Amino acid sequence: MAGGPEIERLIQLLAKLPGLGPRSARRAALHLLNRREQVMAPLAAALAAAATAIRPCGICGNLDTGDPCAICADDRRDAGVICVVESVADLWAIERTRSFTGRYHVLGGLLSALDGVRPEDLSIAALVARGRSPDVAEIILAMNATVEGQSTAHYLADRLEGSNARISRLAHGVPIGGELDYIDEGTLTAALSARRQV
């Protein structure tokens, strides 16, 4: 490879980013190197700052500079409603709708026999513990409408049995196989407001 080991390393790391293959990683590396002052230096500084300042919230698993995160720390948000999501990307998708005023719980993935993801690999014990609180009136299982999303929701409904909270799931509007992060905000708002008890 022309350009030396530093460039090779940069390309290898960029190629690990979602959506970037080796070809686009090479283009991104060249873009950075050609715009050292405008793009590369500020990006390097932003990455370093994010790596030290941002961490998962000890309550819900959201990523933020504070622990608890801004959502868990916000008294105006209803602590009695917990929306369970696969990932922070899905939390962001629901926040973009501006139609949900409760709190969240980020699982950190979905159960998958194929990929070897077991219940203990996800933030399920912490969710069950939160669900036991008498203050929690409703738990919304907002998993993707995929096979793994739905079997994870089913498993969670079983594990949450015995909590006082009502357990509900997203309703109409989430297309089969649909991922929350890709659904438009109006559809997601409708799915959230038309949720049904399980």
Judged by CB under 5 A, does residue 88 bind Zn ion? no
Binding residue for Zn ion (CB under 5 A) from 10, 29, 57, 140?
57
Q: Total residues at the site for Zn ion (CB under 5 A)?
A: 7
CB of 127 to Zn ion, least distance (A): 13
Judged by CB under 5 A, does residue 152 bind Zn ion? no
CB neighbours of 188 closer than 8 A, spacing ≥ 6?
93, 94, 97, 173, 174, 180
Judged by CB under 5 A, does residue 84 bind Zn ion? no
Judged by CB under 5 A, does residue 87 bind Zn ion? no
DSSP characters over the chain: -TT-HHHHHHHHHHTTSTT--HHHHHHHHHHHHHTIIIIIHHHHHHHHHHHHH-EE-TTT--EESSSS-TTTT-TTSEEEEEEEESSHHHHHHHHHHT---EEEEE-SS--BTTTTB-GGGTTTHHHHHHHTSTT--EEEE---SSHHHHHHHHHHHHHTTTSSSEEEE--TT--TT--GGGS-HHHHHHHHHT-EE-
Judged by CB under 5 A, does residue 91 bind Zn ion? no
Nearer to Zn ion, 91 or 153 (CB): 91
Phi-psi region of 177 (alpha: psi -120 to 50; beta: other; left: phi over 0): left
Nearer to Zn ion, 26 or 130 (CB): 130
Nearer to Zn ion, 69 or 192 (CB): 69
Judged by CB under 5 A, does residue 72 bind Zn ion? yes
Judged by CB under 5 A, does residue 62 bind Zn ion? yes
CB of 94 to Zn ion, least distance (A): 14
CB of 68 to Zn ion, least distance (A): 5
Segment interacting with Zn ion (CB under 5 A) among 44-52, 58-66, 80-88, 141-149: 58-66
Segment interacting with Zn ion (CB under 5 A) among 49-57, 106-114, 158-166, 168-176: 49-57
Footprint of Zn ion on this chain (CB under 5 A)? 57, 59-60, 62, 68-69, 72
